[in-house]
Amino acid sequence: MSDQAADPVETVDTETAAVDCDGGGGALGHPRVYLNIKQDEGQIDCPYCGKRFVLKPAASAASE
C-alpha cells in the first residue's frame, strides 16, 4: 500500500509475510482482516486501525 505515510498507531515485528489484525481490545476491535506483506515493501498498515506490521529482515531473506 502506498498510503503508509502517516505514523502508525502501533508497530508489530513479524517473521511471516501473512498477518491478521482484529484491532485487539475484544469487542472494541474491528473485523479481522488478513494482510500480506510484499517483500519489496517490508511492511503493511491495517486499513482499520493503522497498526503497522513490519517483516523482520531475517524473515524476508528466509522466505525468498
Residues 2-36: tens digit of each pLDDT: 455 567 789 999 999 999 999 987 788 899 999 99
Structural domains for the chain: 11-62 (2.60.260.40)
Q: What is the pTM of this model?
A: 0.77
CA–CA dist 22, 32 (Å, integer): 4
CA dihedral sign of residues 43, 35, 23, 13: negative
pLDDT at 1: 47
